[in-house]
Amino acid sequence: MNNTKKIKSALISVFHKDGLAPIVKKLDELGVKIYSTGGTQKFINDLGVNVIPVEEVTDYPSILGGRVKTLHPKVFGGILNRQDNESDVAEMDQYAIPQLDLVIVDLYPFEKTVASGASEQDIIEKIDIGGISLIRAAAKNFKDTLCVSSMEDYEEVLNMLNEGNGEISLEDRRRFAAKSFNISSNYDTAIFNYFNSDHSIASLKISEMKGKVLRYGENPHQKGYFFGDFDAIFDKLHGKELSYNNLLDVDAAVNLMAEFKKEAPTFAILKHNNACGLAQRDTVKQAYVDALAGDPVSAFGGILISNTEIDAATAEEIHKLFCEVVIAPSYSEEALEILKGKKNRIILIHKEVKLPETLTRTCLNGALVQDRDNVTDSTENLSNATNNKPSGTELEDLLFASKICKHTKSNTIVLAKGKQLCASGTGQTSRVDALRQAIEKATSFDFDLTGAVMASDAFFPFPDCVEIADKAGITAVIQPGGSIKDQLSIDYCNEHEMAMVFTGTRHFKH
């Protein structure tokens, strides 16, 4: 059985004309009868190619300012008829409906119009009606019709026409139908999410058009994929392909460094989604050196990120360390050459791109969705819980520690001094354990905790944490407050001249 289909007629109606000309010329060369509308019709005429206006088929003009052009039984009959159905073929002849073997149509740029900040009226006008209907009809009838719904497929279509001399296989027609339904479902999702931006309708619609197969998932025996536009956020300059775990760490790094945007040079080193080193200094080199000092052991194989350009001096220091990924807004030419000295080291330029305002993760047989935690603790939000108020230096360190704490796995305690991460206790089931882990770690790397500060991602139900911190030399504490036993911790701090501030905001990260 021959499943190829000779293209003898085509309907072309597109918003984007880029890359269309070679296809039109090839169709004309093959003797294909071309139907079109509006601007596309003029485009084809200007190429010197004969084109039949759709109005000649429908005996009806484009109306309502172009809102209705192709929505007509003769157009959709030409697309949806079944060539192996005698009744359909008879009706085609009875009503003088032309057979349409190829439909090339794309959609109004709805998402781009929304992203541009256009008015609602302009956005509404970019909701395609005729185009989406043509795509669905042609894709449904892939047995007899080839549907091309994206300019990104033009090159492939041209190759198919050339190689098959105008004949298209059933396999290709079915494959293009799948592409078309991918386009249409993504389009409808974007429109729904625009109208449901306040989430008043409790329905989850997610659509990502760009996907990539990863080497594997979290472990080699698991398949892994990334769906999203990685290139919109990063320019990858060097190194191997990013893994599933790399991507998770890069995400954690970007979200953490967003807390230090436009501040003094800040450098962070992350491992397993948590910062194991972070410092803010007058130079990026010193910020890196002091971040590394926070935990030079864990830094091995880590993810490095800077909030400012990496220069040659910093690159020389980084080059001494085995690390998976380096991220910065820019690099000096010399720094880039140094960092490229390790062939597998991934080097990324982080571009200014707004991240989604909602976070989604799978849960049980469904998904959990929440707003992004956009609260960054600041002096305006703090209330002094104790008689002793933090000094100016302590206050700076408290807010510094709080930013790190917000992006560290709960339960967590973060210890900082002089805008340097001394240590943190991460992902512990007990806050006391998290604190003890942090103190032990800081001590093992020769940090003097006298005058250091402590940040906690949740309140203290008992005074044990502030007591342990006090005995380690810590002088100031930042925490959300809100325990019915807050006073116990406040009393201990007052008795031992410690300062403690409440933020009023909890930053759990599970």
Contacts of 219 (CB under 8 A, 6+ apart): none
Amino acid identity at 474: I
293, two tokens: 């000092």
Please tell me which residue in 140, 236, 340, 389 is annotated as part of the active site. 140
Counting other chains too, the contacts that 184-193 makes at CB distance below 8 Å and 24 or more residues apart are 184/132, 184/135, 184/136, 184/139, 184/149, 187/107, 187/110, 187/128, 187/132, 188/132, 190/110, 190/111, 190/114, 191/110, 191/127
Q: Are 312 and 335 in contact (CB under 8 A)?
A: yes
Q: Give the DSSP letter of residue 310.
A: B
Percentage helix, strand, coil for the chain under 3-state DSSP, each rounded to 5: 40, 20, 40
Tell me if residue 112 is catalytic.
Answer: no
Give the number of C-alpha atoms closer than 13 A to the C-alpha of residue 362, restricted to the C-beta side: 2
* C-alpha separations of 406 from 36, 373, 382 in Å: 57, 9, 15
Residue 350 bridge partners (DSSP): 234
Tell me if residue 8 is catalytic.
Answer: no
Q: Are 97 and 89 in contact (CB under 8 A)?
A: no
Helix (H, G, I), strand (E, B) or coil at 449: coil
Total residues found in the chain within this entry:
510
Between strands 211-213 and 421-425, the pairing is unpaired
486, two tokens: 């807050």
Q: Are 306 and 269 in contact (CB under 8 A)?
A: no
- Work out whether the CA dihedral 216, 218, 220, 222 comes out positive or negative: negative
Between strands 302-306 and 52-53, the pairing is unpaired
DSSP string, 83-140: TT-HHHHHHHHHTTPPP--EEEE----HHHHHHTT--HHHHHHTS-SHHHHHHHHHHH
Please tell me which residue in 25, 205, 238, 272 is annotated as part of the active site. 272
Helix (H, G, I), strand (E, B) or coil at 320: coil
Task: In whole angstroms, give the CA distance from residue 52 to residue 482.
Answer: 73
Task: In whole angstroms, give the CA distance from residue 176 to residue 156.
Answer: 11
- Which positions are annotated as active-site residues? 140, 272
